Amino acid sequence: MMKRRTFLGSTTALFGTTLFTGAMPLVATAQTEPVTGGTLIWGHSETTQNLDMHQTGTASTGRVLQNVHNSIVTVDKDLKVIPMLAESFEQSDDGLTYSFKLRPGVKFHDGSEMTAEDVKYSFERCADPATGAVNFEVFNAVDTIETPDDMTVIVKLKSVNAPFLSRLAENGAGVVMPAGSGDVQGETPIGCGPFRFVSREFGNKVELARFDDYWDGPAYLDGVTAREIPEPTVRLTGLRTGELHMINDIPADRTQEIEDDASLQVVKWFPLNWDFVNLNHTFEPFQNPDVRRAFDMIIDKEALLEGALWGQGQTTASPSYPTSASYDDALTQRAQDIAAAKQMLADAGYPEGSLNIVFKATTNYPYHIESAQILVEWFREAGVTLTIEQLTWADWLSQCWVDKDYQMTMMNFFTLWEPDFLYYSLWNSTGAFNYRGISDPEIDRMTEEARTTVDPAARAEIYKAVQQQIFDQAHDIILWFRNGSIGAQPGVGGLDTVVHPNGSNFNFHKVWLQA
């Protein structure tokens, strides 16, 4: 397949120490000093689902809720854990006790003031199996949560959990909600972030308004309206006509065009997320690792990247964050070899014409549909019939994520910069994100061992071994990292503050609109 376009920028620079590699062109009419007022209309590339920050497993929802909630701790640009709702924190020498001194004067959107009771409630709610929290296992090692006074929380563990603090730096586990608010969080989330939730029209928009009592100072914007527009061309048209102030995920085939347009601003960064092809391990053919390896060998990852993403990313055999010490850069993808794959399938008992596979892809990610369409021809050459079934995002979540009712699919994950979050959630047999039915005792052992390994270098080596096992067994087919991009009108200021260090979440606290 011919390359559609050359990836902009040096891969050396992209894999350097700076995550945020994009830059905005100078716009002559832009004001340099922030002003207050106006509602930002954001063309959000995805649709939100359950608004309960504990229960939601979708980055699309988390990207909006990032502005409604704050966590007890967060990370800086180097992904180092720093205080947030906790003014300070300490870890005991034996790694079993974490003490948090809370920031005074933090108010929730319901007018109440945050105390240790709210933190204890939030942590216990996340840990409670009845809640259905996707990050419940963060608290598996917790023995007690003590609140000696209103501004102090002491968490004691039964055993060492080395990634505990960094897992709290994501809103999913570390979010602090008002005590007793769990029942309303799914429809009307209440937090203490810079914006308060106003309303949601499912599949259409979410409206947020500035919270004037935000502990870190009020936002410049009066509000943010997230218009949910999965169709890339519709999103881009809205930006060009001025209907939208900002969009994320500039259509891959139009990125250069928008970058060359002096009337618009563009921000790019690497990576936004990583993508992989999923094989349902409860489906009989995929219980055989040779079948999974053969399917991996059918795919030309570079050609797929060019065909579906127009080169807006970089292939990888590892899903680890590319700047992480746990990223195994020595791991290389299987090359496409359709003849060898065809023979491997025949040897496994699946000769040409005997496999008819349904590939479920969601229209929430149009490039997943394009990827599936490209795969059809390669699989036909290998003697496998691939039929595409297109699903809405809600249907994909219901069928593939919850019911595990699929044979083959494709998904991407955001924000999993923390290796425990990544490997335990996705590949441990009890992991909250293990919707493929993977059960590998060796991975279970290693991901548990990593949790009790305090030395960072030793932990990184364990995760490299996990990556090797995932590859050797072809549990999933890792494809690429995808670039992130934002297009905006010239009157939008503060775009350099929008992207969270994890590359996925957006924060509009310091964004403003030209008067």
**Per-residue pLDDT reduced to its tens digit, 133-170:** 999 999 999 999 999 999 999 999 999 999 999 999 98
Between 410 and 27, whose confidence is greater? 410
Q: Of all residues in the chain, what percent carry a pLDDT higher than 90? A: 89
What does the pLDDT read at residue 59?
Answer: 86
Residue 171: pLDDT band (50, 70, 90) is confident
The DSSP output letter for 24 is P
Q: Which domains does the chain have, with CATH numbers?
A: 24-50+193-264+489-513 (3.40.190.10), 69-184 (3.90.76.10), 273-482 (3.10.105.10)
Least confident of 27-41, 53-67, 76-90: 27-41
Nearest to 471 by CA among 408, 410, 399, 423: 423
> Does the pLDDT value for residue 22 go beyond 80?
no
What does the pLDDT read at residue 129?
Answer: 94
What does the pLDDT read at residue 329?
Answer: 94
CA dihedral 306, 309, 311, 315 (to 10 degrees): -80
Tell me how far apart the terminal alpha carbons of the chain are, to the nearest angstrom: 48
What does the pLDDT read at residue 29?
Answer: 40
> Does the pLDDT value for residue 31 go beyond 80?
no
> Does the pLDDT value for residue 229 go beyond 80?
yes
Please give the distance of CA 381 from its chain centroid, rounded to a whole number: 34
Nearest to 58 by CA among 436, 400, 335, 329: 400
When pLDDT is averaged across residues 409-432 and rounded to a whole number, the result is 93
Beta-carbon contacts of residue 296 (< 8 Å; ≥ 6 apart): 334, 474, 477
> Does the pLDDT value for residue 312 go beyond 70?
yes
What does the pLDDT read at residue 32?
Answer: 78
Between 28 and 346, whose confidence is greater? 346
Gap between the Cα atoms of 255 and 229, Å rounded:
17
CA dihedral 431, 435, 439, 445 (to 10 degrees): -20
What is the pLDDT of the chain when averaged over all its residues? Answer: 92
pTM: 0.87
What does the pLDDT read at residue 3?
Answer: 37
When pLDDT is averaged across residues 75-95 and rounded to a whole number, the result is 95
Residue 232: pLDDT band (50, 70, 90) is very high
Q: Are the C-beta atoms of residues 321 and 17 closer than 8 Å to each other?
A: no
> Does the pLDDT value for residue 12 go beyond 80?
no
> Does the pLDDT value for residue 18 go beyond 80?
no
What does the pLDDT read at residue 57?
Answer: 81
What does the pLDDT read at residue 515?
Answer: 77
> Does the pLDDT value for residue 30 go beyond 90?
no
> Does the pLDDT value for residue 5 go beyond 70?
no
